Amino acid sequence: MKTKQEIFPITRRQFVTSSAAVLATSGFARGANGANTVAGSPSEQGQSEGKTGAGTVRGPARVIIDTDPGVDDALALLLAMRSPELKIEAITPVAGNVPLDLTLPNALRMVEIAGRTDIPVAAGARAPLLRRLVTATYAHGENGLGGAVFPEPTTKPVATPAAEMIRQIVRRYPGEVTLLTIGPLTNIAAALNSDPELAGMVRGLVMMGGSLSGGNITPAAEFNVYVDPEAARIVFQSGIPVTMVGLDVTRRTSLTDEHVRRLEAAQNAVSQAAAKIGRNAINHNRERGYLVGPNMHDSLAVAGFLDPAILGLQDYYVDVETTGELTAGETLGYSPVAGDLKRRPGTEKEAAAANMPIRGSAPTLASTKSSPVLRDKFVPNTKVAVEVDSARFFDLLIGRLSGSK
């Protein structure tokens, strides 16, 4: 097995330097402009194809799906591959829910089940940028698919590494590619670090990850961000318009026996595979004492891109805690219209610009810093999903997987 340095041969100093370069060249202000549109929605220039936050346009939207299958990742991949609104340029597995030695063949299995071996699958990072890998086999089973067993894939991954594949595709179609990220953000951060101009060429990024209402692996952190918080911070600070579909909404997407029965009743390879994975995942949850089935976290992010009416979004400035002993991986959302800082209607915009600095921790006695202010005013960089139409989501998910929609 390769060491972490062989996978990402950068030092901490290089990591900090390259991260700063990404931020400087892409322009943080671009995030403010992008925050007024759903990440991935077509701009006036280079309108690419697809059903996005701005409505339906001429053809399929170019996307790259970065994933760590994973029960809900597997169903999200099948949903995406059954959706004609998407032109999937590549699938880039990463270590996360289970190690890369499992996420890569799991992705290849889904490609074969969906009959989409035309989609290149490129192996990604085996480990986070600066940390040891933490997996979620406790939730996804030892094989990542809730214990559901499928034949070994015969399709092979392409030789190009995931980060380079992402870089090449985005440069080939500047302003057209949306990144659908449903795992840790290691591959995306590696691509951005390798090419400081890349962030300015990405149309948008729709991520499953983060939370403004507590975590699922620690009280503070959602799993995908917890696994590689440094990578997540690079993405949030890159200037790419981000849509964060986190636990605030995905906790309301529990898969049920009725959903699985509808999948089982459909006689096609995709529905049967999805039903098998779903049934095993529900049983796995019950064996561990949970009252509900697994949440379809990743499928919701994909579905929200396909049908923006599924999600209600709100502008936030989001950043990631990377140094806290108990809070590493926590996503912090700043907003002039939420929480204790909420203001009277009609005054939010002026107050945000003048009176809402983004603060870090207060300086210590040993510090030479004179101010804890990180940004002198509120500038949103992320649209955060805060509402979800769960019925509409499952109608789309089960309908597409069963072949009835």
- Among 140, 259, 284, 297, the one annotated catalytic: 297
The closest of 223, 239, 224, 215 to 186, measured between CA atoms, is 224
**CA distance linking residue 68 with residue 50, whole number of Å:** 24
140 catalytic residue (yes or no):
no
C-alpha 24/C-alpha 231 separation (Å) is 16
> By the 8 A CB rule, do 171 and 198 touch?
yes
Query: What are the backbone angles phi and psi of residue 376, rounded to the nearest 5°?
Result: -80, -10
Burial 223-233 (b: 16+ CB within 10 A, else e): bbbbbbbbbbb
Quote the CA–CA distance of 260 and 276 in Å, as a whole number. Answer: 8
How many whole angstroms separate alpha carbon 209 and alpha carbon 221? 9
**How many residues are there in the chain?**
405
Residues labelled catalytic: 297
